[in-house]
Structure 1
Amino acid sequence: MRLPDLEAWAIFAAIVEHRSFSGAADAIGLSKATVSKAITRLEAHLGQSLFHRTSRRLALTEAGKPLAEHAARILAEALAAEEAARDGASGHSGRIRLAAPMSFGITNVAHLVADFLVAHPGIEIDLHCSDARVDIVAEGFDIALRIADLPDSSLRARRLCGISTHLIASPAYLEKHGTPTHAAQLGEHRLLGYANVTGPWRFRGPGGAEVAVRAA
């Protein structure tokens, strides 16, 4: 299917409205040559002439008269669509689906959402807090906050902030299994980590030496 030449139809409507090629060119900010080429292109596509042209007069052909009404509607609809888009953009309305990790979403995101809704009453936030890694595209999310190293993806990602992590153990565990004195000894212990963070735990000592430990 060949798409219609909407630019040529709009130029056709402008010529009819301004009753000349030069008047239409001035009104829509194009050169007279560009306007003329658009009509030539449209006539070639339709297989019929739209205007009777003389050095002193421009008139629609019998074939062009009914088509001029269609062209006017096409131009009016396009202008109305652009106006509606501008109104929507300036009004900031609609729904945003946002996914965030459970604890991070509750402690760091929820109050920001409340402030955002006060500033933008026309927007609705659908906040999903879960530690499950959602499929942003398949599940229809607009934004997802993740605490992890992202795999290769065509999605646009931006680092928002750093997250502090802590290594902790209960006194009862340390009493039973002993207290490690070096990060390398962690491999001998039972470790519990965040499932969405892939790869080993990395520790860097005062001298810059790095130790990697993988939680089993």
Structure 2
Amino acid sequence: MRCAAIIVAAGSSRRMGFDKLAAEIRGSSVLRRSVDAFMATEGITRVIVVAPEDRFASLGSDFPKPLLRMDGGKERQNSVENGLSLVMEELVAVHDGARPLVKPETIAACILAAREHGAATLARQVTETIKRSDADAFSRESVSRENLWFMETPQIFRSDLLREAYAEVSKRELVVTDEVSAVETIGIPVKLIASPSPNLKITVPADIELAEALLK
């Protein structure tokens, strides 16, 4: 089963204050690092970057596999749907462009799980103590962390399942923050693959320094 990759890179970086996807980490931009990881992954046939033209152009053209561009949409889910219109492969991996530390071997593990189960995602088990607060931000009770996970990307699915899921999301006029949430609307269980190494999402300026440190 062939696998295409959709890298979502259409955001405005409002919380960052500058284009976080153009920020350099040890000589390569955040977005370029994300693209390179998928280019280096066996099983990925091509990469679709959902991004504005200028951001896409900054990537250059020296890639070993086809690299395509698609315009973004109003919401993240609209951007992914736009990218899906270019997918002909049986599987599709959706990845946040702002997660530059993902590794090819980790992507490959998720592809294998998606081939077996139809849907798989990289995730991280919750290890911290979790509290529920009141409306005034005072701690009121503990929440069991058993079986709780932080969702990461890539999230990989059979392409037909993801298309069906987004059709249902659109029909019900839902807003979802990731593809796992979308496929849950059609009752599809998603296999969780524990992330073996840091896979942080660049959100605030300090994350750039943290990513630099992790790469060292």
TM-score (norm 1): 0.24
Larger strand fraction of residues: 2
Larger helix fraction of residues: 1
TM-score (norm 2): 0.24
Higher gyration radius (CA) = 1
